[in-house]
Structure 1
């Protein structure tokens, strides 16, 4: 695996890479690859082919899968992480022990196709709002055990990460606010207990929005507002006496057909669970093939 910082502009979570790969190989290979053992124990080449237009993502995981089984494998990448490629692009060529190449094939492709799917979907949303100043955010609706990997893929696709988990930000939602009786009381309790954590407040009405603006927080999520109410929320948030602008986030009812109009209403960010929840894998293949003579 590349050392941290080497060809890694999107800050891969290196410990998660190692843990994810160890888990994936143990799941797939177990006590041994019965079929790969039939192959001659020699060296061979392989080509990683992308069969559709996509954003390249998952190189650290791909590399780690192959190097875990063959420390001497040579992986020659022809594209960078985050590149947009056309169908038919050879992403990389490999040279290593044939048995290791085929044993690592499925796990390495599973990571690349899943993370490439997340990055490609994110890029489509980022393109759709380009020029509006609105950021595209992910959510915690990730595949179990792959949160850090998928949030990395969102960054590769041009999006931004929301909170990583329940520990690194306070997010007051309907159930929390109901427990305190009001938005203001929930905010005050959160500030007392967690003064150093970012505070996000979800509101369901314009009255709750005003209460959040008056009490103060770091971001306000307007959830499932219709278009007219959403535009009124932006107007209220931008008007006096709320001099310290609190960013507005939109969630719910967002797809590629609606995201541009939502952004043009003037919201600061749009969080989209589908980026990591509705994953459509990218079509890739890894085939053994003689490498060109040097």
Structure 2
């Protein structure tokens, strides 16, 4: 689907060129049409991000997606349960701590339950300052996933030679475990006859995704491919703030376009679920571009986030 939107009001540096995309397919059509992407596999070794294949780091930066091994001791089962049940009403059993979040009162901007008008998506978003509202074991998982994401960000900035004295400023404090750290839980309602979620780019720095089945499509080198999960790994992708920062460097980081197919289910089969940590700068921060060792401010994070969010959840199909 081709956009002719002149993008009035979009920032010339951060908006990027329009992208032509097909309509989001259903999962059966996607399996037949789009082969899996050969993702790089990685693990964290202290502060170092190691890749299984030579040159894997640079390929991961160019693809915008890679697999990160889940560390021993990081227990994902609580997050799996929460993603499965957060949208349900309490039922008077042991799973009730994971239910009832459609009605949760979460203080702060852009948090709580969202019923997406144009997508199968329904979400529960909650920022780190409010994780005490979650079951304690889910909060612990959130802290573990964000620690992984921050470690990935620091390793990437080191790899592409961003001066370390700039890290905290350009990331809005995220490299020092500040910034904006959000948990997002997703349920895709197969009974809703629409796309899973729109093709979009993440707006922040690093996203750490726990997914369970194929259905994520990404535009890599001009071709759509399936970004499939692998047991024992998170899927990591890069956000637009990192792409903008590194766009003039010898090895820029790509924030590639991605979305989720329409979930199709036979009777009795559970719907698709997933959950992520989004790592971003605080809304009162600044988006920067690195130019010959100087961090040049290009846009406020608040304006950038509004620009990106408007393209993620609307119904025009354009990006």
So what's the TM-score if we normalise by structure 1? 0.21
**Higher strand fraction (1 or 2):** 2
**Higher helix fraction (1 or 2):** 1
